[in-house]
Chain A
């Protein structure tokens, strides 16, 4: 008991009050090795391709150390939109003593939030990321055009969502992160399209098996440089 009190006194004297530090997350959409710019032409399977919209939800941000959650962001919902520069970059305020090796987040919106009525902020249904005909958020939205698409106007539209089993489409992503104060997360849209047959599947706007499979693919295009 006495040693416990001694330890407690040592702790209170030695450790200054928990200070905070800020870490910045920056999402960097790319098309393979090139920075992705909306409306600009890139090459896909020998054909040009343009991206008009890239928007997705990042939620439930947490930090992990040796497989255990050491920190969770409160009210963690971020709409990332390539058309809005400020949405690509945000800070996390952490206790400065915290140690971690990985960043964890959900690509999309959890099912509880899905059934809890009208939300505000980035979750406001007027943000263009909520289906109207059927309740549910669009977790990931990618739109553009390429001669590879057999749709009218050669467009393609992927609106990935759905929260009901067996086709829940929010995906957990874990990335090892560097000890730096800024983490850059690459979002390689080229990789998503390279594995998609635009002649066969160019339009997807409802939940189901296809949305679920494409959500796996979308989750795989996020990576973090550890340097």
Chain B
């Protein structure tokens, strides 16, 4: 009886204490392999924290970001397929609308200097504004997204824990999304283990030959260890007569940038089909046949190259439970 009385007295006190939990986010060090270049992302302006990443993860998987609350970021960026939209040449958004391009893979973004196939976004933080606002993607007004999130009681607590302000702002929402995406680090493919000289990790003879071919013919654009130089290039694809996509020129207005697209990473390429900015190739064989028009590669060499490309699959990354849908 006495205990119950005590509890009744303490309960409101506990609630009060809980409501005034200090804002003390847990810093999360950004880890990447030795020998890799330094990340480009300015972590000092948006330091990774456990709470920030958790909030970003929740937002990434929340359809509240779309106009009719039907799709989330993960609809076109699925963790199990290297964060891209497989099986669809052009990614589709709300109301069955079809976009202009194949969704990009999201991996090792801390090293990216620009985002999207045409480099339309100059910073990871502001990249999310493009798909949120595009009528063929999430079809929503960003100010309205912020309002919807502000109305959610659950988000109030999460924003407070992450940023010390329970009222969501556009800045914090974007920074949280960036924090989660920065954790998409793929550096544990068999290729990586071979490069690190780990015990038991080795290329087969065919993969080794493929690696040599890769370094000769592909490595200047698909630079190791990120497998992209981050630049824009014209790779000889004729423009699609319906899409009339001019690529990088759409952003710079410079005719020299016509038909140039961002060089994509080849990491997890086995899982990120279909290929090219408009998803016109459904298999890697088709991709290699396209390049064989300009690069002398015999059918045997193409097979060797393919064997090497498959060593870039990072199952640990693809099936990382910390990156998938946040189950409570």
Contact = CB atoms under 8 A, between A and B. Distances in A.
Interface of A: 114-120, 123-128, 130, 132-136, 164, 167, 207-208
A222 B122 CA distance: 31
B129 interface: yes
Contacts of A117: 42, 45-46, 123-126, 174-175, 178
Given A118-B178, A167-B253, A125 B122 contact: no
A126 B126 contact: no
Contact of A116 (B45, B120, B132, B178): B45
Interface residues of B, number: 29
25 contacts: A116-B123, A117-B125, A118-B123, A118-B171, A118-B174, A119-B171, A123-B171, A124-B171, A125-B142, A125-B171, A125-B174, A126-B142, A126-B145, A126-B169, A127-B143, A132-B130, A132-B132, A132-B134, A134-B120, A134-B121, A134-B130, A134-B251, A135-B126, A164-B252, A167-B253
Interface string B183-208: 00000000000000000000000000
B254 to A, nearest CB: 10
Contacts of B120: 133-135
Given A125-B170, A126-B143, A133-B134, A114 B253 contact: no
- Smallest CB-CB A-B distances: 4 pairs: A126-B170, A132-B133, A117-B125, A118-B125
Given A120-B171, A124-B171, A130 B126 contact: yes
A120 B169 contact: yes
Contacts of B171: 118-120, 123-125
Contacts of B252: 164
Interface of B is mostly: helix
Contacts of A164: 252
B115 to A, nearest CB: 9
B146 interface: yes
Contacts of A207: 253
Nearest to B132: A132
A159 to B, nearest CB: 14
Contacts of A135: 120-123, 126, 129
A114 B142 CA distance: 18
Interface in B158-186: 169-172, 174-175, 178
A128 B133 CA distance: 12
Residue with the highest number of chain B CB atoms closer than 10 Å, among A133, A136, A167: A133
Given A117-B125, A118-B171, A135-B120, A126 B133 contact: no
A55 B238 CA distance: 42
Contacts of B124: 117
A167 B252 CA distance: 10
Contacts of B175: 117-118
Contacts of A128: 143
A12 to B, nearest CB: 39
Interface in B98-125: 120-125
A168 to B, nearest CB: 13
Nearest to A208: B253
A26 B314 CA distance: 59
Contacts of A120: 169, 171-172
Contact of B129 (A123, A132, A167, A208): A132
A208 B170 CA distance: 27
Nearest to A132: B133
Contacts of A119: 171
Contacts of B143: 126-128
